[in-house]
Amino acid sequence: MQEVMERIQMIAETEDVPVLGTSPAAQMADEPEGYRPEDLLPGAKSLVVFGIPVPRGVYRPAAPKVIENVWRTQGIYYRRLDDLSLRIAALLEETGDSAVPVFGCSPFSLNERKDVRGHLNQLRMGEVAGIGTRGRNGLLLHSRYGSRLMLGGVVTTAGLPAFRKPETTEPGCPPDCRICIEVCPIKAISPEKRRVNIMRCLQYTSRTPLLPKLRFLLLRALRPRAAERLMSITSLDEHTLHVCSQCVTTCPYGTGTP
């Protein structure tokens, strides 16, 4: 497995992926049923997670066109992350193991409360691999990249050695910082749980002409699987504009000025 790990590191180096980690899949065995590594891939043994930072200028709060720049960046970076996840999964399968990519954004599913979820919680993958820590804004914080890391990953039956690059010890949010909580226009952030109410956030921020809200809400109530497919087809990439990223743009973590 050491050789496979070296080849994964090589992909990260040549593709300018600065943050990479692995962890045993069992570290996420306490995720909700249907969203555990074992549910995505029976026999799952390891997780691979990696992050690429969005340039700081894209999220600069007072910058002109910040919404349009975030929109374009997300469309490109999610494709890049997904491509890397697929490449790493294919590499892991060369040795006879199985591997499933964990895509950066869509496809989505609806959980038992009919809340939107990814297939596996990438933020948690990052936490258990030790590549960052969870902030009050519900995102993975890294002392070099702040809240700006976008994540990709893979679940595999391969037993990978523990790996983390760069080594990091994150202090986490400063005790008195409440910037993201105060700036959120719809108060969707629960600082104690370090979580965002994802449905409130999405309802407010995501705009796409391809997904009429009424149609989605009706499908969500009556035919959840159809709602999942519609949302996955019409979301992100080129299609969805997020009119708010304030919990990221204003977060001072990693800038030396919290």
Task: Give min distance, CB of 223 to ligand SF4, in A.
Answer: 27
Query: Are the C-beta atoms of 28 and 125 separated by less than 8 Å?
Result: yes
User: Nearest-CA neighbor of 121 among 43, 217, 27, 223?
Assistant: 27
Bridge partner residues of 153 (DSSP): 49, 102
Task: Give min distance, CB of 78 to ligand SF4, in A.
Answer: 16
Task: Give min distance, CB of 231 to ligand SF4, in A.
Answer: 17
Task: Give min distance, CB of 163 to ligand SF4, in A.
Answer: 26
User: Nearest-CA neighbor of 126 among 156, 70, 164, 173?
Assistant: 164
Residue closer to ligand SF4 (CB basis): 46 or 147 = 147
Question: Which residue has tokens 């226009």?
Answer: 185
Longest dimension (CA), the chain: 51
70 binds ligand SF4 (CB under 6 A): no
184 binds ligand SF4 (CB under 6 A): yes
What is the C-alpha to C-alpha distance for residues 166 and 18, in angstroms, rounded to an integer?
Answer: 8
Task: Give min distance, CB of 91 to ligand SF4, in A.
Answer: 34
Residue closer to ligand SF4 (CB basis): 2 or 257 = 257
Query: Are the C-beta atoms of 203 and 216 separated by less than 8 Å?
Result: no
Task: Give min distance, CB of 184 to ligand SF4, in A.
Answer: 3
By CB under 6 A, the count of residues binding ligand SF4 is 25
Residue closer to ligand SF4 (CB basis): 241 or 244 = 244
Point out which span in 7-15, 37-45, 101-109, 173-181 binds ligand SF4 (CB under 6 A). 173-181
What is the C-alpha to C-alpha distance for residues 230 and 107, in angstroms, rounded to an integer?
Answer: 10
Residues 116-145 that bind ligand SF4 (CB under 6 A): 135-137
36 binds ligand SF4 (CB under 6 A): no
Point out which span in 44-52, 69-77, 171-179, 214-222 binds ligand SF4 (CB under 6 A). 171-179
Task: Give min distance, CB of 122 to ligand SF4, in A.
Answer: 17
Query: Are the C-beta atoms of 52 and 149 separated by less than 8 Å?
Result: yes
**x/- site string to ligand SF4, residues 229 to 258, per CB under 6 A?**
---------------xxxx---xxx----x
Residues 187-206 that bind ligand SF4 (CB under 6 A): 188-189, 196, 201, 204-205
Q: Which residues bind ligand SF4 (CB under 6 A)?
A: 135-137, 173, 177-180, 184-186, 188-189, 196, 201, 204-205, 244-247, 251-253, 258
